Amino acid sequence: MTVSVESTGSLGRRMSFTLPAERLDNHIGGRLRELSRTVRIKGFRPGKVPAKVIEQRFGKQVRAEALDGLLRETFDSAVREQALQLAGNPRLEPAGEGELEWVATFEVVPDFGEIDVSKLNVVRHTAEVTDADIDQMIENLRLQRRTFEAVDRPAAEGDRVALETWSQAGDERLPAEGVETGATLIGSGVMFADIEQALVGMSKGEDKEITVAFPADWRVPQLAGKSVQVHLKVTDVAASVLPPVDKDFIKSFGVKSGDEAQFRADIRTNLERELKGALANRLRREVGEQLIAAYASVEMPERLVENEARAMLAQQVEQARRQGQNVQVPDDAYQGFLDPARKRVLVGLLVGEVARRNELRLDPKRVQETLRLIASTYEEPEQVIELYRNDPQMMAGLQSRVMEEQVIDWIAERAQHTEQGLSFQDAIRQ
């Protein structure tokens, strides 16, 4: 195998290499012979299909598969031989018209020098679940089960208000004809804050016109950045009715006995599990920020950063579209994500280096624990677990996440730290 590597920048590399022709031919021949013994073709007895027929039927596919496998194997061998550490996936292209000469372009991991995690000083947040937190959770559960009753009084905070609206933005009326109907819970933030507050004190059948200054990034383009006349008409006012915390209420959350003490104990267990995860995530973010600060001057692979920025943009666009927003994305929009992408790449590469230098390995038990934790948030946990196990891409993503968490926890254990107490609510706030 002939291999040559040249630099195309401080982190860019161009590798030229040749595939071993004999190994390719041997692999193809062996696979075709295997097919001739096992394949069933109409008109021929098993194991008696002529080699020419096998070649005509499967030759092209077998050659493509053999070439792809040998290409990856040869490239990986060349990378090990040259002691290269790749940052991201390579771009593999044929060097000419033949199929044996190839060129790979890629970036390598930067030289971080000594990585002494004991010099990092991280903040370890602490918190505990109190009776007040349990009371607040029970109140939240009551709010989830509330009902609404129509009332003959002005609307107040917490009421559900049904209304009709239309707006005048300069010469444009929205909608062009008629009105838009909807409902909001005053104080929920479902509607623009000025509109929700204007509903306070209005009764069923009452009209009002208000002037609203919408921000430049408002989700409705016709209203964004404009001062708009909004016409409101309340068609119904309903007050919320909270259920009592009785046996039926408690049983509806899986406590068969309906016992309040058991109910509170179960809530405490769930809140403590949530708190444990939140504190772990805070510590990992803290370690990540310390790593970023300590190695901010190290140059990052440009292609890897750009790919990460584009992925972050795509994720945000997809989220906006799921919310019903019509998003137009300029070609250079990814550039707005370059800074967070650079930080994410930096942490990822550092984590990989720490794992490599300290021979850290993925813990299969931890992968299973994380998978079960993820699945527990769904109605059919076993189906979610099966979905991951049958999807190599999803499982690879989970393993990558768990490995990163393992390494960051390993760093946190060896770093200097100071403790800072938080309330439960502050601790779980992301």
Residue 154 maps to which CATH number? 3.10.50.40
166 and 261 fall within a common domain: no
103 and 209 fall within a common domain: no
230 and 309 fall within a common domain: no
156 and 209 fall within a common domain: yes
Q: Residue 38: its pLDDT value, please?
A: 76
Q: Which comes out higher in pLDDT, residue 227 or 99? A: 227
Q: Is residue 247 part of a domain?
A: no
179 and 321 fall within a common domain: no
232 and 209 fall within a common domain: yes
167 and 99 fall within a common domain: no
Q: Is residue 39 part of a domain?
A: yes
Other CB atoms within 10 Å distance of the CB of residue 46: 11
Backbone angles phi, psi at 221, to 5 degrees: -55, -35
User: Region 284-292: what's the mean pLDDT?
Assistant: 93
Q: Residue 403: its pLDDT value, please?
A: 94
82 and 176 fall within a common domain: no
Q: Is residue 142 part of a domain?
A: no
Confidence of residue 57 (pLDDT cuts 50, 70, 90): confident
* Domain range enclosing 175: 147-241
Kindly tell me if the per-residue pLDDT of 21 is higher than 80: yes
Q: Residue 126: its pLDDT value, please?
A: 95
Q: Look at the chain and report how many structural domains it folds into.
A: 3
Domain boundary among 108, 139, 174: 108
- 308-359 residue pLDDT tens: 999 999 999 888 888 777 778 888 899 999 999 999 999 999 999 999 999 9
User: Region 235-259: what's the mean pLDDT?
Assistant: 94
72 and 179 fall within a common domain: no
Backbone angles phi, psi at 358, to 5 degrees: -105, 10
Backbone angles phi, psi at 132, to 5 degrees: -65, -35
232 and 315 fall within a common domain: no
Confidence of residue 185 (pLDDT cuts 50, 70, 90): very high
Q: Residue 219: its pLDDT value, please?
A: 78
Confidence of residue 1 (pLDDT cuts 50, 70, 90): low
Inter-CA distances, 257 with 101, 232, 261, 272, 340, Å: 73, 48, 10, 22, 50
Q: Is residue 138 part of a domain?
A: no
Q: Is residue 137 part of a domain?
A: no
CA distance 354 to 405: 12
Query: What CATH number did the domain enclosing 55 receive?
Result: 3.30.70.1050
Kindly tell me if the per-residue pLDDT of 191 is higher than 80: yes
Q: Is residue 136 part of a domain?
A: no
84 and 121 fall within a common domain: no
Q: Is residue 249 part of a domain?
A: no
Query: What CATH number did the domain enclosing 364 receive?
Result: 1.10.3120.10
User: Region 63-90: what's the mean pLDDT?
Assistant: 90
Q: Is residue 252 part of a domain?
A: no
Mean pLDDT of the chain: 90
User: Region 124-151: what's the mean pLDDT?
Assistant: 95
In this prediction the pTM is 0.71
182 and 301 fall within a common domain: no
